[in-house]
Amino acid sequence: MLRYTEKTMDVDVCIIGQGLTGLVAALKLKAAGRSVLLLEKDKMSGGLAGDMPLGNTRIEHIYHHCFANDFSLIELLYTLDIEDRLQWYEPKNGLFSNGHLYSFTTPLDLLSCRSISLPDRIRTGLTVLQAKRVNDWKPLEHETARDYLVRRSGKTAYERIWQPLLLAKFGDDADSVSAVWIWNKFKVRGASRDKSQRAEKLGYLKDGFGTLVSAIVEKLKADDEKRVTLMNNVEVEAIEKTKTGFEIQTNDGTHKAKQVIAAVAAPMFNHLTKTLDLGTYRDLLNVTKYKANICLLLSFDRQVTPYYWTTICDDLPFVVIVEQTNLVAKEVYGSHLLYLSCYLDTSDPLWLKNDDEIEAQFLAGLWSLFPDAEGSFQKKLSLIRSQYAQPVIPTLYSQKQPGIRTPIEGLYLAGMSQIYPEDRGLNYAIKLGKDVAKAVLEKNDV
Ligand SMILES: Cc1cc2nc3c(=O)[nH]c(=O)nc-3n(C[C@H](O)[C@H](O)[C@H](O)COP(=O)(O)OP(=O)(O)OC[C@H]3O[C@@H](n4cnc5c(N)ncnc54)[C@H](O)[C@@H]3O)c2cc1C
């Protein structure tokens, strides 16, 4: 049954999701004169890039940085007049493997990592360097990341270095991930290094990426004609087709729009469009599985690790430690900040535990690596569960990827699994937001 409330809107375009993709699409549509309604189920805008206040600054619930070749992101900062917020850092990275903590910042570090033999270290280094020179990713589509890495680095290097990383991120699905995914990782990281390949440059915004979200929201709201309406705490439950457009049913009433952009993950879109006839397009929505993520943010009196980013290859409840205050000075926040993060399926018992149980399990893991840290622990600042955190991209995905345009005219999907061959990232969410807005405007049927 349809529910209409006083808040019911009738607009040109309804965008579901106020992550960066939805927000950027709204910017473009507003600039083209469209009336836009943005619905978001969370209280805050920003989606995975959402943040919270901390002292005189802000911090993301989930660690974020950007890369030197994130051109869409950098361009947007200029458009919003906040480019001076972008600062570049040269952080140090570590790798925890077989009970040892290795420095893993430069190619030289790889050469001295005794986890594998010298010839295997050289092959591993060459794998990364060679991948960075590959521009045509199409031939890699046929192969899994596993086969590609075994072929290039050898079985031992695969088992000691790459397999734990793939397992950490993709669990049971590790063997089905496409070689294009790992190639892309090498390419993005390589492009963020200087010519000597020594230092990797990572970017971070003064006061965090939440300031980018706020700048977009401010620009969307700055409108005398009130062409853009943002609604938070409004969860979309279904999208229905009508003769003239769409009805968007939410937990807080029904809205009408001539066109709809679902800036959400493909499985969510699948759920919202249950009653629509999407033909074979619906099969494509089920091709990509998503891994969920749990991210815990903690504060300490003292530094815990010497690194910004420590990849964990051993069996622990988390797969990466990100010590934010080894990137940005501790003085900015008033204490040392550290994230612990893991990827998992929503059927995993850990996902079903309550926050206190998860925190206890993560802390026990951290103390097992850094026993001294327990004495300097202050408190948990945030614990966030993201159901759609990382798409598992299979082989030959270019033939299976759902397009931005769905078979129903005026209905668009713009989610993380549609930026292939790139992997998820703020930069690609921004690009996707622009692309989907362009598709809407090209149609010219508003
Ligand atoms: C652990 C982790 C670390 C990351 N680190 C980095 C990094 O260092 N650098 C980087 O560039 N990128 C990073 N990313 C990726 C980056 O955060 C994402 O690529 C980007 O934020 C995706 O934006 P989006 O708008 O496409 O999706 P989301 O941010 O997922 O936005 C979708 C929005 O839709 C809303 N929504 C969903 N369903 C409904 C519904 N039914 N009704 C209403 N609203 C709904 C959601 O609440 C959400 O706000 C990271 C991601 C994760 C998970």
- Ligand 1 centroid to 110 CA: how many Å? 32
Work out which ligand 1 atom sits closest to the CA atom of 268.
38
pLDDT over 90 percentage in the chain: 76
* Exposure string over 20-49, b if 16+ CB within 10 A, otherwise e: bbbbbbbbbbbeeebbbbbbbbeebbbbbb
- Ligand 1 centroid to 436 CA: how many Å? 16
- Ligand 1 centroid to 419 CA: how many Å? 13
What is the CB < 6 Å shell around ligand 1? Answer: 16-22, 39-42, 47-49, 62-66, 235-236, 263-264, 268, 293, 295, 341, 386, 389, 416, 424-427, 429
CA–CA dist 150, 165 (Å, integer)? 14
Single-letter amino acid, residue 383:
L
What's the rounded mean pLDDT across residues 2-24?
84
CA–CA dist 217, 436 (Å, integer)? 18
| Res 446: pLDDT | 42
What's the rounded mean pLDDT across residues 420-441?
96
CB-neighbour burial class of residue 430 (10 A; exposed 0-12, middle 13-18, buried 19+): buried
The strand pair at 309-312 and 289-300 is best described as unpaired
- Ligand 1 centroid to 370 CA: how many Å? 31
Q: Residue whose CA is closest, atom 17 of ligand 1?
A: 48
Ligand 1 test: best mutation among 89, 264, 387, 431, most atoms within 8 Å of CB?
264
CA–CA dist 123, 7 (Å, integer)? 62
The strand pair at 309-312 and 93-97 is best described as parallel
CB-neighbour burial class of residue 279 (10 A; exposed 0-12, middle 13-18, buried 19+): exposed
| Res 133: pLDDT | 80
Q: Residue whose CA is closest, atom 6 of ligand 1?
A: 64
pLDDT in tens, 109-137: 766 666 678 888 888 888 887 887 888 89
- Ligand 1 centroid to 225 CA: how many Å? 29
Q: Residue whose CA is closest, atom 34 of ligand 1?
A: 17
Domains of the chain: 10-64+208-288+394-443 (3.50.50.60), 107-194 (1.10.3110), 290-392 (3.90.660.50)
| Res 444: pLDDT | 59
pLDDT in tens, 333-346: 999 999 999 999 99
- Ligand 1 centroid to 150 CA: how many Å? 32
Residues 6 or more apart whose CB falls under 8 angstroms from that of 243 comprise none
- Ligand 1 centroid to 425 CA: how many Å? 9
pLDDT in tens, 219-278: 999 966 678 999 999 999 999 999 999 999 999 999 999 999 999 999 999 999 999 999
Query: Sorting pLDDT into bands at 50, 70 and 90, what band is 195?
Result: low
Q: Is residue 22 a contact partner of residue 16, using CB atoms and an 8 Å limit?
A: yes
Q: Which of 190, 48, 82 is nearest to 133 (CA)?
A: 190
Outline where 243-292 has alpha helix (H). 266-272, 281-285
The strand pair at 253-262 and 411-413 is best described as parallel
Work out which ligand 1 atom sits closest to the CA atom of 234.
43
Q: Residue whose CA is closest, atom 5 of ligand 1?
A: 64
- Ligand 1 centroid to 37 CA: how many Å? 19
pLDDT at residue 445 tops 80: no
Contacts 24+ apart (CB under 8 A), 282-288: 284/400, 284/401, 284/402, 285/402, 287/394, 287/397, 287/400, 287/401, 287/402, 288/391, 288/392, 288/393, 288/394, 288/397, 288/417
What's the rounded mean pLDDT across residues 285-301?
96
- Ligand 1 centroid to 233 CA: how many Å? 16
Ligand 1 test: best mutation among 424, 428, 431, most atoms within 8 Å of CB?
424
Single-letter amino acid, residue 355:
D
CA–CA dist 24, 11 (Å, integer)? 18
